[in-house]
């Protein structure tokens, strides 16, 4: 029995999860949940026992000094609650952020679902990011997948057909399905040739898709500026290497060809509905994510560079690094990988 003390009765709660590691290319997913927690000042109410789920030789604890006192921080998964704006009625989000566990995945998922049951969670959304053959100059592809055919129809999602190795995102979604809890996975495709974190453009794209899915408005702060700076930095690095520039151009051509059917009345209607929703919400100066990780002014890539920790994006790679694509990621041949292939 899970006892929750100090957690108030929640309003239409949705659980949002992300895990560092195999399912988190460019740290895009875990950064998205961390952003929600930071912007809405989430309060941690529970942490899973690290001893049960982590191999400390794989995920080592860290030592820091706090007022001259040494403090050990153990790798774990923490849960916090934030209250988000959803039109006239607020909505609570249960944020789950941690590291992909090293062991006892079934027990891990059962414990997460135990919290979901006690808190009255209506739906679980798991964020993930994968490496794909997608150009950094185009909107970030984000796909929503589910194991529930009814949920796929009602929320305009893909029904997953993937078979093969999976990560904790796939296992948690399947555990939700068996427990009768509606669950969705949102996957962002990160360019494999700039896989080093952070990737603020992919984080923006995930937050945008999350907004559409559960009807909330996310305060983005400096993320739009960071995304523009990230793209400009990669543009500059790619321009310095003719082979990389040619490779990016080939990805652009493949992507543009694959995206031609999206110029449909339905796609335009969805974008217009999103515009109206955000206009009525009167977003602040920071703007709100648009499809593909841009911002509401419609400029792709921006016109200036923002200083970022670590000196900006790492140099693009000429060829796809085979060892960075997890087992089970299968190239479609149309310029990107299928998001559901991670789970």
pLDDT tens digits, 229-254:
999 999 998 888 888 888 888 888 88
The CB density around residue 182, as the number of other CB atoms within 10 Å, is 19
Centre a 10 Å sphere on the Cβ of residue 139 and count the other Cβ atoms it contains: 18
- pLDDT of 198 over the 90 cut: yes
pLDDT class of 217 with cuts at 50, 70, 90: confident
Give tens-digit pLDDT for 168-190: 999 999 999 999 999 999 999 99
**Tens digit of each residue's pLDDT (9 = 90 or more) over 77-129:** 999 999 987 666 789 999 999 999 999 999 999 999 999 999 999 999 999 99
Looking at residue 266, its pLDDT comes to 53
> Strands 89-99 and 77-86: what pairing?
antiparallel
Burial zone of 140 (CB within 10 Å; 0-12 exposed, 13-18 middle, 19+ buried)? buried
CB 28 within 8 A of CB 12: no
Report pTM: 0.75
Q: What whole-number distance in Å separates Cα of residue 282 and Cα of residue 63? A: 44
Segment 249-275, tens digit of pLDDT: 888 888 777 766 555 555 556 556 655
Q: Which helix (H) or strand (E) holds 254?
A: helix 242-259
* CA-to-CA separations, 115 to 13, 19, 111, 171, 184, in angstroms, rounded: 12, 17, 7, 17, 17
Question: Which tokens belong to 325?
Answer: 């694509």
Look at 281 and 324; give whichever has higher pLDDT.
281
Check residues 4 and 221 and name the one with the higher pLDDT.
221
Q: Which residues contact 212 (CB under 8 A, 6 or more apart)?
A: 274
Q: Measured at the alpha carbon of residue 81, what is the angle toward residues 143 and 200, in degrees to the nearest 5?
A: 40
Planar angle of CA 96, 126, 258, nearest 5 degrees:
150
Residue entry with tokens 């090293």: 102
Closest to 137 in 3D by CA, of 235, 247, 241, 27? 235
CB atoms near residue 222 (< 10 Å): 11
CA distance 81 to 96: 9
**Picking from 53-67, 131-145, 191-205, 288-302, which range would have the lowest pLDDT averaged per residue?**
288-302
The per-residue pLDDT for 268 is 55
| Amino acid 48: pLDDT | 95
* Alpha-carbon distance values, 215 to 26, 81, 83, 218 (Å): 26, 17, 13, 10
Query: Predicted confidence band at 38 (pLDDT cuts at 50, 70, 90)?
Result: very high
């Amino acid at each position: 029995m899970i006892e929750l003390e100090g957690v108030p009765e929640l309003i239409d709660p949705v659980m949002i999860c992300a895990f560092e590691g195999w399912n988190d290319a460019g740290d895009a997913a875990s950064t998205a949940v961390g952003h929600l927690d930071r912007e809405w000042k989430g309060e941690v109410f529970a942490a899973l026992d690290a001893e049960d789920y982590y191999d400390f030789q794989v995920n080592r604890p860290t030592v820091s000094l706090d007022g001259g006192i040494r403090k050990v921080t153990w790798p774990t998964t923490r849960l916090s609650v934030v209250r988000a704006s959803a039109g006239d009625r607020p909505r609570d989000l249960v944020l789950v952020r941690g590291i992909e566990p090293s062991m006892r995945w079934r027990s891990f998922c059962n414990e997460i679902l135990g919290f979901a049951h006690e808190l009255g969670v209506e739906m679980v959304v798991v964020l993930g990011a994968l490496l794909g053959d997608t150009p950094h100059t185009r909107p970030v592809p984000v796909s929503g997948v589910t194991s529930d055919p009814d949920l796929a129809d009602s929320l305009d999602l893909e029904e997953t057909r993937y078979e093969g190795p999976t990560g904790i995102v796939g296992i948690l979604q399947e555990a939700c399905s068996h427990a009768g809890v509606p669950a969705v996975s949102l996957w962002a495709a990160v360019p494999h040739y700039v896989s080093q974190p952070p990737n603020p453009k992919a984080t923006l794209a995930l937050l945008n898709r999350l907004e559409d899915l559960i009807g909330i408005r996310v305060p983005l702060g400096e993320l739009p500026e960071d995304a523009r700076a990230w793209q400009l930095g990669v543009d500059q690095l790619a321009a310095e290497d003719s082979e990389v520039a040619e490779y990016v151009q080939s990805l652009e051509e493949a992507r543009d060809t694959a995206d031609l059917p999206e110029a449909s009345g339905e796609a335009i209607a969805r974008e217009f509905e999103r515009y109206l929703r955000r206009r009525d919400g009167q977003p602040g100066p920071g703007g709100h994510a648009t499809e593909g990780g841009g911002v509401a002014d419609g400029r792709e890539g921006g016109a200036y560079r923002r200083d970022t920790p670590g000196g900006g994006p790492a140099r693009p790679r000429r060829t796809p690094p085979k060892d960075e694509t997890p087992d089970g990621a299968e190239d479609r041949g149309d310029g990107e990988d299928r998001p559901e292939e991670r789970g």
